[in-house]
Amino acid sequence: MLIELNGISKVYVRGTEEVHALRSVDLAIDANEYVALMGPSGSGKSTLMNILGCLDSPTDGTYRLAGADVSRMNANELAEVRNSRVGFIFQTFNLLPRASALQNVELPLIYNGQRRKVRRARAIQALERVGLADRMTHRPAELSGGQCQRVAIARALANGPSLLLADEPTGNLDSSTGEEIMVLFDALHDEGNTVLLVTHDPVIALQAKRLIRIHDGRIASDEKLA
Ligand SMILES: Nc1ncnc2c1ncn2[C@@H]1O[C@H](COP(=O)(O)OP(=O)(O)OP(=O)(O)O)[C@@H](O)[C@H]1O
Ligand SMILES: [Mg+2]
């Protein structure tokens, strides 16, 4: 099992107000699964993705990622797991605007302590994988939205992660560009990657192999897709 969540809760405290974003979530995901996560706005999807991606810690419960108990790690240990095991893809791409595509993809390799030659070679390989061999020196402003998302996917792939997490990756793209990005996710899944994506679009969700619906911080349904 790649991911095992047991009784995961997340409570945000703001002044005297408590927001129960996740309520005792149990979830198991195998390596090479392809999972879509749907649910109304505010239901806890991003909160769950951020915990899975070690960007945030749960208030309660245990999270095991590839056998390691992530919920008991300190910030430094979490950063290491995040950098070596998780590739995160966001709706708004989150690229550095003043850096080239190549430099953006090299960034996680720098954090991971890779030597210059190695990281350059890996970044080029990742950009080739997403079909951007001819755009490596372009900055985000010189790329289309779909190309920016490809750079972000290349960056997510750079360290050879165990898990690809995408939070509404097509949310800022027109439908045909979004479809191209989904073709890429399908191929990455076929190549052995574990993919978990949040979407509001049922057509996109149906491309996955498993559909989980979340409602008010709880898993409302979990079904296998044909
Ligand atoms: N940093 C935070 N501080 C306080 N409350 C938060 C914080 N982040 C999220 N929340 C609250 O937690 C709940 C779940 O938020 P979350 O972002 O996980 O929803 P979501 O399902 O991703 O919604 P959307 O579809 O709009 O992206 C919401 O009520 C939200 O207001
Ligand atoms: Mg969200």
What's the whole-model pTM score? Answer: 0.95
- CATH number (domain holding residue 141): 3.40.50.300
89, 164 contact by CB (below 8 A): yes
Number of H helices, E strands in the chain: 7, 10
Report the DSSP beta bridge partners of residue 25.
8
Ligand nearest to the CA of 52: 1
Query: How many distinct structural domains can be found in the chain?
Result: 1
User: How many Å from the N-terminal Cα to the C-terminal Cα in the chain?
Assistant: 21
Q: Is residue 42 part of a domain?
A: yes
**Ligand 1 nearest atom to the CA of residue 22, by list position:** 14
Q: What is the pLDDT along the chain (226 residues), one digit of tens a residue?
A: 999 999 999 999 999 999 999 999 999 999 999 999 999 999 999 999 999 999 999 999 999 999 999 998 998 999 999 999 999 999 999 999 999 999 999 999 998 889 999 999 999 999 999 999 999 999 999 999 999 999 999 999 999 998 999 999 999 999 999 999 999 999 999 999 999 999 999 999 999 999 999 999 999 999 999 8
Which residues make Cβ contacts (< 8 Å) with residue 199, sequence separation at least 6? 36, 37, 38, 168, 169, 170, 171, 205
Where in the sequence is the domain holding 200, given as residue range(s)? 34-46+77-224
Q: Is residue 156 part of a domain?
A: yes
* Encoded tokens for 86: 């998780």
Pocket perturbation via mutation, ligand 1, pick of 16, 25, 45, 49 by most ligand atoms within 8 A of CB: 45
Residue 137 belongs to some domain of the structure = yes
Instruction: Classify residue 63: in a domain, yes or no.
Output: no
As beta bridge partners, residue 86 has: 163
